Amino acid sequence: MEQTNSDLKPNDARTDDWTARLHRATRATREDWLGRGISYLCIGVIILVVASMLWFITSKGIATFTQNHVNLWKFVSGTNWSPNQDQIGALPMIVGSFAVTFAAAIVATPFAVGTAIFMTEIAPNKGRKFLQPVIELLVGIPSVVYGFIGLAVVVPFMRHLVSGSGFGIISATFVLFVMVLPTITTMTVDSLRAVPRFYKEASLALGATRWQTVSRVILRAATPGILTAIIFGMARAFGEALAVQMVIGNAAIMPKNLISPAATLTSQLTTGIGDTIDGTLPSNALWSLALILLLMSLFFNALVRLIAKRGQLSHER
């Protein structure tokens, strides 16, 4: 390097030009920078969206407690919801949401697990070819259509079966059951498929029947996956708004039984948010309901992670 320099005249313009050129980024490098920049920007946009969503809804949701000085405990345990008279007890909606979520999960799980066993163990080829599109179709049907069918079929049916309006938790459960069924089924199928083949072979080689193998080996090994599937289904049921709102009756009172009109967090939000003035107590109270929804969604998320982690550990042991 030094020799080259001493050979040439120190202020040769051409040398400077060449060093500069050699040090300059090539076209490929510049392309790389550009590409890297674009992809970082895009991921940045998504992070920004998530962060601002969490921030905005949290800050709006806690305004009820920080600005209107409502007692947090009174909010979650109060049973009287009439925001215009400064009564904001959210318990009826919280109970309603949990009731429909658990009921839907309890009804849907046996159906989902049964279908998944059929697809993986009983008739893997036929089951897959035939049931896969069926489940995809069930996923594809928009939630308002489920709501419409609930309104047109389930509600009159319940009205017929038991007296009353037909609107209520049980109708919502029916609708949600069909909506979460494909979610739980697909994920259960995945976790059943992930069970190592030799587990099954070992069990069958010991002379176990198919059902013994399925119930004692395969289902047991796939339990973390199935639990995750159920929680995903519950998260979907908890957050579902329109279909539930159409069939539950939207009465913000403590649900006494399964067939009287009730309300969920989502149904109250859908019906209420447009009628309130921003910044007032009724509006803030609704945002607090939205915050509960958000927190529950985060909770389901954390639960899934926890189960996945423990599932991994138990497999490694």
Partner 1 sequence: MNAKQKDFLATITINVIVAAVVGILFFLLAYILISGLPHVSWSFLTGTTDSFSGAGGIGVQLFNSFYLLVLTMLISIPISLGAGIYLAEYAKDNWRTHLIRSAIEVLSSLPSVVVGLFGFLLFVVKFKIGFSVISGAIALTFFNLPLLTRNIEESLSAVPRNQREAGLSLGMSKWKTEIGIILPVALPGIVTGIVLSAGRVFGEAAALIYTAGQSAPVTNFADWNPMDAASPLNPLRPAETLAVHIWKVNTEGLANNAAQLSAAASAVLIIAVLLFNLGARVLGNYLYRRGTASK
**Binds partner 1 (CB under 8 A): choice among 62, 91, 95, 131:** 131
**Binds partner 1 (CB under 8 A): choice among 14, 110, 205, 256:** 110
- Least Cβ distance, residue 163 to partner 1 (angstroms): 22
Which of 8, 152 has the CB closer to partner 1?
152
Which of 8, 139 has the CB closer to partner 1?
139
**Binds partner 1 (CB under 8 A): choice among 141, 161, 162, 313:** 141
Residues from 204 through 233 that contact partner 1 (CB under 8 A): 208-212, 214-215
**Binds partner 1 (CB under 8 A): choice among 5, 9, 35, 306:** 35
Residues from 146 through 205 that contact partner 1 (CB under 8 A): 147-149, 151-153, 178, 181, 185
- Least Cβ distance, residue 69 to partner 1 (angstroms): 22
CA distance 311 to 222: 9
Q: Which stretch binds partner 1 (CB under 8 A): 13-21, 65-73, 113-121, 251-259?
A: 113-121
Residue 88 φ then ψ, to 5°: -125, 85
Which of 76, 144 has the CB closer to partner 1?
144
Q: Does 72 bind partner 1 (CB under 8 A)?
A: no
Q: Does 36 bind partner 1 (CB under 8 A)?
A: yes
**Binds partner 1 (CB under 8 A): choice among 19, 39, 85, 257:** 39
**Binds partner 1 (CB under 8 A): choice among 83, 99, 105, 118:** 118
Q: Does 64 bind partner 1 (CB under 8 A)?
A: no
Residue entry with tokens 């049916």 = 157
CA distance 244 to 269: 12
**Binds partner 1 (CB under 8 A): choice among 246, 259, 262, 307:** 246
Which of 72, 134 has the CB closer to partner 1?
134
Residues from 258 through 317 that contact partner 1 (CB under 8 A): 266, 269-271, 273-274, 278, 287, 290, 293-294, 297-298, 300-301
- Least Cβ distance, residue 9 to partner 1 (angstroms): 34
Q: Does 124 bind partner 1 (CB under 8 A)?
A: no
Q: Does 67 bind partner 1 (CB under 8 A)?
A: no
What 3 state SS string does the chain have? CHHHHHHCCCCCHHHHHHHHHHHCCCHHHHHHHHHHHHHHHHHHHHHHHHHHHHHHHHHHHCHHHHCCCCCHHHHHHCCCEEHHHCEECCHHHHHHHHHHHHHHHHHHHHHHHHHHHHHHHHCHHHHHHHHHHHHHHHHHCCHHHHHHHHHHHHHHHHHHHCCCCCCCHHHHHHHHHHHHHHHHHHHHHHHHHCCCHHHHHHHHHCCCCHHHHHHHHHHHHCHHHHHHHHHHHHHHHHHCCHHHHHHHECCCCCCCCCCCCECCHHHHHHHHHHHCCCCCHHHHHHHHHHHHHHHHHHHHHHHHHHHHHHHHHHHHC
